[in-house]
Structure 1
Amino acid sequence: MAEAVATVTPVEGLGMITIRADLSCAGDAIAEAVGLVIPETLRIVTDGSRSLGWMSPDELLLVLPAQETAETLVALEQALTGEHALVADMSDARAVFDVTGPHAEDVIAKLCPADPVALPSDGLRRTRAAQTAAAFWQIESGFRMIGFRSTADYLGLVLRNAAIPGSQLAPR
């Protein structure tokens, strides 16, 4: 078998919190509770081990170390008291993969209709990878992709297959 053009690694130990709220009203409270600025549309902000991504006009995704999830949920719930908001621990509902190496963008491009090369360094893209919902953003050595835990085996398989030189997977 040919050597892979990128490395696909499942990522464990992350917590993920979905935050739904009117960001124009609750943005400051959210930012203070999570210690990150609210990202611009289609962007993700990262500081140390925490990332906060824009998922939709009223939805953010906080990615953080798993051991900080419970405490951060409480902080968010307290910060959003009186706001029409939803804060939910989605850690067990999501799977995470890092696609790294000099040709990581080729792996993403084989599976997604979104162009990974056109993604700004702080961009976050919701899309699909082959036939499953996913989102990806750049990390230092490639890309991080999240998908549903229920499709984790499939997502990992198509990512690894796309990393094989000459594979002809095409999302379009």
Structure 2
Amino acid sequence: MSDLCTALRGARFDGYVSVFEAQPTGMIQLRAELENGAVAEGVCRATGAEVPQPLGLATGECGTVLWMAPDELLLRVPLEVVPDTLAGLEKDLRGHHHLSLDISAMRSEITLQGTAVREVLAKVTPLDMAVLDSGTVRRTRLAQVAAAVWLEDAETARVLCFRSVATYVFDVLAVSARNGGEVGAF
């Protein structure tokens, strides 16, 4: 991983769960009326995915769409296509009230892998990790900072946070994942 533009410079910690900085990805914040057909068409053209249901995510051939709020989506696309994706959204949504921004440099993404990802997260977030389903996105707190959390599958979780607090979030997750800290709750 190139360390030129990442907050954590490829940091990795291996405990009873592995915690590591995800590969840089393009992130576009889209604020709009999500029920608008033009929004659905623009999102589909940009990512190949549908607008997800509340608290959900949808994956298409060109990217992933995360539901962040009743009027907000996060489009995750390859970093190199962000300018073209933004231009396409602007064209598709011309005449419709919306805001689309490249926030790729504002956010950091951290991946957790292992059989106990739910336990590691349960130590540091108020989310009920026993009931969080794969494919569900939740905005929450991670220790003292805002974050978004989702499970890709039973052994892979993603955490999205502001770049300015990425080191803090990484360190909190690494402490939570240290060998000898297993609780066995899940």
Could you tell me the TM-score, scaled by structure 2's length?
0.83
Tell me what 1:160 maps to: 174
Structure 2 distance, partners of 1:157, 1:13, is: 19
Structure-1 separation of matches of 2:141 and 2:104:
19
- How large is the RMSD of aligned CA atoms in angstroms? 1.7
Give the match for residue 40 of structure 2: 28
Residue 135 of structure 1: SS of its match in structure 2?
strand
CA contact (8 A) 2:139 2:147 kept: yes
Aligned to 1:92: 105
Deviation at 1:165, TM superposition (A): 3.8
Name the residue aligned to 1:147.
Answer: 161
Q: Which amino acid aligns with 2:172?
A: V
In structure 1, how many angstroms separate the alpha carbons of the residues matched to 2:62 and 2:35? 26
Which stretch of structure 1 is more off in the superposition, 31-40 or 93-102?
A: 31-40
* Counterpart position of 1:14: 25
In structure 2, list runs of 5 or more residues that go unmatched. Answer: 1-13
Alignment partners' CA distance in 1, 2:123 and 2:180: 11
Q: Is the 8 A contact 2:28 2:76 kept in 1?
A: yes
2:17 is the alignment partner of 1:43: no
Which residue pairs with 2:7 in the alignment?
none
SS of the equivalent of 2:105 reads helix
1:24, distance to aligned residue in structure 2 (A): 1.5
Alpha-carbon distance in 2 for matches of 1:49, 1:77: 17
> Deviations for 1:30-79, whole angstroms, at most 9, x for unmatched residues?
33332210000010112356210110000000112111211111111111
Structure 2 CA distance for aligned equivalents of residues 86 and 50 of structure 1: 19
Which is helix-richer, 1 or 2?
1
1:105 and 1:142 in contact (8 A); partners too? no
Alignment of 1:53-64 (within 5 A): 53-64=66-77
Task: Give the TM-score taking structure 1 as reference length.
Answer: 0.90
CA contact (8 A) 2:43 2:89 kept: no
Question: 1:13 offset after TM fit, Å?
Answer: 2.3
Q: Which residue of 2 aligns with 1:4?
A: 15
* Matched residue type, 1:147: C
Query: 1:167: Cα distance to partner?
Result: 4.3
Aligned with 1:102: secondary structure? coil
Q: 8 Å contact 1:14–1:66 — kept in the other structure?
A: yes
Residues matched between the structures, number = 166
Residue identity opposite 1:19 in structure 2: L
Q: Would you say the 8 A contact 1:98–1:145 is kept in 2?
A: yes
Q: What one-letter code is carried by the residue in structure 1 that aligns with 2:165?
A: T
Q: Give the number of the structure with larger relative contact order, counting CA–CA contacts within 8 Å between residues 6 or more apart.
A: 1
Runs of at least 4 residues off by over 4 Å = none
**CA separation of 1:118/1:15 partners in 2, compared to 1, >3 Å: closer, same or farther?**
same
In 1, Cα distance between the equivalents of 2:83 and 2:148?
Answer: 24
> In the alignment, which of 126, 137, 141 is matched to residue 150 of structure 2?
137
